[in-house]
Structure 1
Amino acid sequence: MSAQLFSHSQILIAGVDEVGRGCLFGPVVAAAVVLEKSSIPQLQEIGVKDSKKLSAKRRETLATAIKNRAISYHISYASSQEIDRLNILNASLLAMKRSITKLSITPQLCLIDGNQKVPNLTIPQETIIGGDKSSPLIAAASILAKVWRDQLIVRLAAKYPHYDLENNKGYGTKKHRLALQQYGLCFHHRRSFKLKIDK
């Protein structure tokens, strides 16, 4: 596909990002968000930026605004069992590929956060290191993925109350690790990670 086409204002571009890579519990979640190139500045206007720099309430508000503006979006994941089988990098790329291929419309270019291209993707793609900070479209994807994953973990927290998941969202806080020592692993823990559950 030519550079001239990529410069066209109406080209459909997908921003793609994942969240939850460093967690001990739960899936890695990816989102793909499609907009026309000319519409991407609107994301900055409504305050879209790196999801880690936003409060949970602000992320939820922006997630709704992003969905309303997107031509298409999709959120997918790779389970903790897939992470254990494939490793976290390959599982993250799998979640990204699922989010792209399940879009209701095919973008002409995918902007991928990080330095690893999505394997066996037929759509042209460009990797951007720190893309969630420099690309509002990738940042939009990170917000959708983060909100979806956090809501999932809060629901799972009711089923697994010992691990303080509502507060740590699956990350390896001191309280989470102490609970692992006391109660052991549950179905959604990543067994390939160094969980240090020896008493």
Structure 2
Amino acid sequence: MDLTIIALTFMAIAVVELPDKTFLATLVLSTRYRPLFVWIGVGLAFVVQTTVAVAVGKAVALLPTTPVRLLAMAMFLVGAVLLFREGRSHQTDSGEEYADAAGDVHGARVILASFLVLFAAEWGDLSQLLTLTLVAKYDDPVSVFIGAVGALLAVSGLAVVVGKTLLRFVQLHVLHYVGAVVCLLMAALTAYETFG
């Protein structure tokens, strides 16, 4: 277990997830249902999705180093472009469509509904691709898993506890730009490791 990789993964995933639909969907779900149950359901979805991303990333890590680094660099650049585009368009999804998908549920069903809503929404998401890329790049699945799940739980916890207040002070497009810069820095670091 490498604390540097855990911290790097945590930072990268948290910055990418803050302006994401996950944050908004969790925020909206927690305003309609008991927040703790929403957070548990969302957290379980994140654990499953991160496990899949780590497993795929570990398989990719078995490939030769240079192609894996080039793929990682390309993925970071794609992530930066996607985040810049979303930031430029000032995407302001309300997250209501995700809460509507949960329907009218109570108790343990809130956990299941939250799990299902976020599980479906997160497949192929940038954070899942970033997790896969970080495992392939560093070949340390445990550290990346801990950093990624920690970031996802922290961001969803933030959405549950202070989401509405945070959105009053920080505009989503700013968070998109910060996430894009982090992806660019990761691409530059990967390029330096590959060619420098």
Give the structure-1-normalised TM-score: 0.28
Largest Rg, 1 or 2:
1
Structure number having the greater helix percentage: 2
With normalisation by structure 2, the TM-score equals 0.28
